[in-house]
Structure 1
Amino acid sequence: MIRVLFVCLGNICRSPMAEAVFRHKVNKRGLQNKIEVDSAGTGDWHIGNPPHEGTRNILDEYEVDYTGLKARQVVVEDMNDFDYIIAMDEKNLKDLKMLSKDKEIQIYRMLEFLPSSEITNVPDPYFTGNFDEVYEMIDSSCEQLLETMIKNMK
């Protein structure tokens, strides 16, 4: 089982959006028995809360299921439990590296899987309100991430 963890700041906008979108893509490919998906936040402000209304609205628009998603904070054990840890921005990446305590953990930035992007950080729609733009970035990045994982499975 390959385990993927998406991480943002509060785990109510970007990372649950990525979790839901990626799970949707995994299920469409029939890979749900090979790939497990989760998300977390570096902060603890929203623990137990559902995704942000803007995230829920955009996922509803694209008919992507987010049933049962609740915010949680990333923990040290996550550093060992996941094969792919995907940070939404540079700050999340730095926080994750601090949490990993210098273990040799491979942490990626989401937009590394979107080479055509001119930016490196997924903007936080909690502050910007740009849920449509963020969805497009996450959707495209998730597609490339899944393709990368499928190639590595063979």
Structure 2
Amino acid sequence: MAIAKKYGVDISAQKARQFNRSDFEYYDKILVMDRTNLRDVLAMASSPAARAKVSLFLKDDVVPDPYFDNNLFDPVYQMIAARCEELLKELVV
């Protein structure tokens, strides 16, 4: 939260939840941060159309988990912010 706040983003009210099968019906695009989540979410897909909605957030790479190395919080924030900018350009037509 401190790194996000440093960049003017308040994430203090955010909450995590488990992904569930009904999310395939609700969302057009499902982005995951690592290959374990990719595998797990794809395993929940009931159709090729559902599977097509799922991809890695960083395209062909994973987002490192900064909880194992506190020095990664700022670089990971930068990766995520840069990818969000790319996504906005890709998704806004």
TM-score, length-scaled by structure 1: 0.54
What letter is aligned with 2:67? Y
Alpha-carbon distance in structure 2 between the residues aligned to 1:122 and 1:59: 16
Structure with bigger RCO (C-alpha 8 Å, 6+ apart)? 1
Alignment partner of 2:76 out of 134, 137, 143:
134
Q: How many Å apart are 1:72 and its aligned residue? A: 1.0
User: Unaligned 5+ residue runs, structure 2?
Assistant: none
Aligned residue pair count: 90
Work out which of the residue numbers 53, 61, 86 in structure 2 matches 1:144: 86
Per-residue deviation at 1:65?
2.1
Residue 4 of structure 2 aligns with which residue?
Answer: 59
TM-score by length of 2: 0.86
Higher helix share: 2
* 2:25 corresponds to: 80
Q: Give the Å deviation of 1:101.
A: 3.1
Tell me by how many angstroms 1:103 deviates: 4.4
Residue 124 of structure 1 pairs with residue 68 of structure 2: no
Identical amino acids, percent of aligned pairs = 37
Residue 68 of structure 1 deviates from its aligned partner by 2.2
Higher strand share: 1
Q: Letter of the aligned partner of 1:132 in structure 2?
A: D
Q: Residues 18-59 of structure 1, C-alpha deviation per residue, up to 9 Å, x if partnerless?
A: xxxxxxxxxxxxxxxxxxxxxxxxxxxxxxxxxxxxxx0111
1:94 is matched with which residue? 39
**Which residue number corresponds to residue 108 of structure 1?**
55
Q: Deviations over 1:80-99 (max 9, x none)?
A: 11111111111111111012
SS of the residue 1:86 aligns to: strand
- What RMSD, in angstroms, separates the aligned Cα atoms of the two structures? 1.5
| Structure 1 portions without partners, runs of 5+ | 1-55, 113-118
